[in-house]
Structure 1
Amino acid sequence: MKILITGSQGQLGWELLREAKSYGFETIGFDLPQIDITIKPDVEKVINNIRPDIVINAAGYTNVDRAEDEREVCFAANCTGPGNIAAVCNNLDIPMIHISTDYVFDGRKNTPYTEKDIISPINAYGKCKAEGDNAVSDVLQKHIIIRTSWLYGIHCNNFVKTILRLGKEKEVLEVVSDQYGSPTFVTDLADAVLTISSHIKNNSGDIWGIYNYCGAGVTTWHGFAEKIIEEAGKYLDIKTILVKPITSKEYPAKAGRPSYSALDCSLINRQFGIVSKPWQESLKMAIKLICSNA
């Protein structure tokens, strides 16, 4: 089976290219400047030339704070682009897997969000992603949208790498303790996406729609950071002796974040047999890999 991956130089795209070999898939990765998904003729040319069995869209604008000032850029990448891919896939009868976010929710719940919960994003990034999800589902019946959260991995910048860097520089780190969510190791997400791709290949019934996938368990950014520092101490000379909890109001951020955005992953388990690993377990593996490659 041939899979086209857009956003192949990002965290997830890079990992999908690496992991797909073990699934026996042929993968072709595209990213800027090879393809600009916001330009439909670009998308048409690439997909028509490749004629993949599945398109996985891992491309997107992910700077949550900058999106408040760059809404048009964010909208183009996170809504117009996915809509273009979906439209071309619809014309060629090609299934599409599209990656979304927990930030489509407002965070007012205190239990994990399900796929049926009403979306109500509170920042520009979340709004653009929500509109992108609609742009896909409105034109392409054979779509799977995967909402994920707090993504990190060994490739590209992310929260884990930032904490590791600061941990070698500062004795005290101040980290927000009133935002709750589920850290997700990008390798685990890639495996989930590729498992779903196998189901698509095998024509496993009516599987189309929205699914949640994230690491198992709920923590805060503060709790996440504490665990990062604890694990990193096994491999690095860590200077940090205290991870100090602070409130969202004490941390200057342009974009508001949902105070609670954990995701219920029971549907993806029932449909595809995909089980989320405890976020602490995956973090241990990630830090070991990051530190060994440093």
Structure 2
Amino acid sequence: MKRIILASCVSAGAALCLFGAGFAQAQSAAEIKTVKVTPLGGQTGEFCRLDRAFVFEDPDGTRLLYDAGMTVAGPDDPRLGDIDALLVSHLHGDHVGPRRTQAVDAGTCAEPDLSVDTRPNTNVAEIAVAKGAKIVTGSEMPAFFAAKLRALGGNPENSVLARFGGSVKVGGVTIATVPAVHSNGVSPDLIGGELGEAMKAAGISGYAGPPTGYILRFSNGLVAYLSGDTGMTAEQESVVRGFYDAKLVVINIGDTYTTGPKEAAWVVNELVHPAAVIPSHANEAATQNGEVVKGTKTEAFLMAVKVPAHVPLSGKTMEFDAGGSCVAGC
């Protein structure tokens, strides 16, 4: 195409040449099938303390909500649109939502509004029922969510298992789970009743099996790794890179509960080798006016990582091609 355009410049003149080159570039960009990634955090245009949630949209329109947590304002959050499936890495409150914000931008980046109580249902289950969406999880979590769906009048069969080594397909997206090194206790508040009260008094939580990360293979060929809450694991090299060859990574960097910023950067640089990375779960007000705050964990991660890193500013959609490169919105 480039040679044809150059040849026509000689005979048709510079104006036609520029028009032809611009048309070819626009046509090429239009032909690229991208995966859209939209963070759904507490404050529009910022990366905030409790931000966990992302919507992934396949080129065929399939939409997945990952770790809805507490910053999605329930089923009526205007940012959601249609949701085909929800993904939950584990059952801790900041990922399933025993409480949630009442509206987009309520509260502050450091102290989001969490005035809506969703116990014992969870924000995840309420969204799934309202949207008629599946909940795809691994480990022992499907039974937990099936009970929540049933209690809310939804279809318990919409709680779908994807255990390590297997996969399920939702629309154009193939979903698999991979190991995460973390805990996965169910809060007594999400169990409720006399059993929940007895567990609370004993200081124990329920067991839901090991936590997970996710591998998503989109219809354009892009493979994404969503780390969930994890430390460094051998599977990040042998499975995530070796078998799945993930090109886009969403990795949690908050330290104490997950890999810290330097550890997360090492996972990206030395184990997974993606084309691009999005940090998440920083447990801090990481940005102000859309700019990374100096001295934050997010800044430390950005300085340590060796591949293009894209800060997840709430409500700002990024688009990734099959090779994991951001082609819009970054």
**TM-score (ref. length: structure 1):** 0.29
Higher relative contact order, structure no. (Cα contacts within 8 Å, ≥ 6 residues apart): 1
**TM-score (ref. length: structure 2):** 0.27
Structure showing the higher strand proportion among its residues: 2
Higher Cα radius of gyration = 2
Structure showing the higher helix proportion among its residues: 1
